[in-house]
């Protein structure tokens, strides 16, 4: 079973949209294999967003992601990485298709409700940042 990391970001989690977002993934046939509510630390943000360190938007991204609780998930299923990214929609909610997570729940390009791994390699790197093997139930 393919797995992906999903983060329900502080904006969507703070507005009580976690259940709505989980339902979208489950209605698409995917399984929630792990879930936790947490407040991202700057250290976790630096690991998770390592490829963005030094870019102009990095400080604002870290400030946002560490500002309030979020929900981290491992979602599993066939072709889940590609399909969850399709369910999430375009990064910019103004460009996202109707019915996608970001069209429904995102505020803007930064406060865009969710993160999902973009490849098998990213998922393999990102999942252990948030979950130990004994926390994933597949």
Catalytic residue list: 115
What DSSP assignment string belongs to 86-117?
A: HHH--SSGGGSPTTSHHHHH--SSSS-SEEE-
CA distances from 39 to 81, 122, 126, 133 (A): 24, 21, 16, 20
Q: Residue 126 in 3-state DSSP?
A: helix
The answer to whether 18 touches 38, Cβ cutoff 8 Å, is no
Here the tokens at position 68 are: 């309030």
CA distance 39 to 118: 22
């Amino acid at each position: 079973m393919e797995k992906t990391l999903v983060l329900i970001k502080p904006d969507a989690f703070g507005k009580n949209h976690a259940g709505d977002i989980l339902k979208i993934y489950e209605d698409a046939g995917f399984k929630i294999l792990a879930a936790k509510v947490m407040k991202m630390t700057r250290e976790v943000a630096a690991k998770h967003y390592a490829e963005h360190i030094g870019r102009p938007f990095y400080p604002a991204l870290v400030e946002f992601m560490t500002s309030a609780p979020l929900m981290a998930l491992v979602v599993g299923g066939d072709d889940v990485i590609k399909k969850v990214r399709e369910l999430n929609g375009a990064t910019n909610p103004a460009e996202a298709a109707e019915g996608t997570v970001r069209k429904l729940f995102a505020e803007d390009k930064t406060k865009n409700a969710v993160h999902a791994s973009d490849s098998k390699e990213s998922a393999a790197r990102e999942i252990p940042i948030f979950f130990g093997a004994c926390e994933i139930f597949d």
